[in-house]
Structure 1
Amino acid sequence: MANNVLETVIGAVVIAVAAIFVIFMYRTADIAPSDGYMLQAKFNSVNGVNTGADVRMSGIKIGSVVSTELEQPSLLAVVKMNIRDGVGIPDDSAVRVLADGLMGGTFLSVEPGGGIDNLKAGDQFQFAQGSVNLIDLVGQAIYSSGKSE
């Protein structure tokens, strides 16, 4: 009888620790649904940008990517993002795809413009710069450094 009680207590402790771990990960991973407004941008290339990627302004996370899809007529990548309430983005702001170092993940960086009016829910960024392929840049630097005759 003592073994059954001990096993039950140990099982309850394991379940409690697992529940605490799941709650901790849910909060720190920032995957909880958040209030905010939706914006979108169209890019030529969004290599590495996945659902859940950060949207940052001045290095501070202000939102996250909700979806990426291919627009059929133009063949541009359409990225929809959720921006935290209370963050105003001027309507002439630009967004671009950046990488966190050579081995880091990619994120969207919003560079605020000087406009008076802010983007509203459902609006689209006018200026968007896609990702840059570092391997292509290195290749261009190597092959363009040769002497021309």
Structure 2
Amino acid sequence: MEKTKLELIVGVFVLIGIVCLGYLSIKLGKLELVGGNVYEVVAQFNSASGLKPGSAVEIAGVEVGRVRGIVLKDDRASVTLAVHDNVKLYSDTIASIKTRGIIGEKFLALSPGGGGDALKSGDTIRDTESGLDLEELVSQYVHGKVN
């Protein structure tokens, strides 16, 4: 009887540990089990080099969403953004690919406008700025093509 009770207690602790590990994996990985309260907008860039699905979308240094996907469309990178519902973007919003530090990770910075119509799910951000490609700049410098 005592052996069965001990096995039951150990089993409960193992089950609690697995549930806690799963919870931490979801929270630390910033995964969403359900769609969440987000809407999707699209931004097209000449180059989305270094940007990956799951990269942060920020306004004034505050994370307001994530990059959902990146596909090639008409020789341009079409980036789908999942932005939280409580953040309002307007038609004059500017999307820029930025880098944390000199060789840090890439993220997408939004500069929200104040005018124009509010963007709805599926709309496109028209004003974009591609990220600075450090390798291309070094290559131009080495080959003497810097203006």
Helix, strand or coil at the partner of 1:15: helix
Per the alignment, residue 25 of structure 1 pairs with 25
Aligned twin of 1:133: 133
Provide the TM-score with structure 1 as the length reference: 0.82
Runs of 4+ in 1 over 4 A off after TM superposition: none
User: Unmatched 5+ residue regions in structure 2?
Assistant: none
**What TM-score, normalized by structure 2, do the two folds share?**
0.83
Q: C-alpha displacement at 1:110, in angstroms?
A: 0.5
Q: Does 1:95 align with 2:95?
A: yes
Report the number of matched residues: 144
Q: CA deviation at 1:145?
A: 9.3
Task: Find the counterpart in structure 2 of residue 83 from structure 1.
Answer: 83
Aligned equivalent of 2:43, options 41, 44, 61: 41
> Which has the larger displacement, 27-36 or 39-48?
27-36
Equivalent pairs: percent with the same residue? 27
Q: Tell me which of 52, 73, 90 is aligned to 2:54.
A: 52
CA distance in 2, matches of 1:121, 1:138: 39
Deviation string 1:87-128 (CA, Å, 9 cap, x unpaired) is: 111211110111222343211111123424322221111111
Structure 1: gaps spanning 5 or more residues: none
Query: Judging changes above 3 Å, is the alpha-carbon distance between structure 1 residues 12 and 46 closer, same or farther for their aligned structure 2 residues?
Result: same
State the match for 1:110 in structure 2: 110
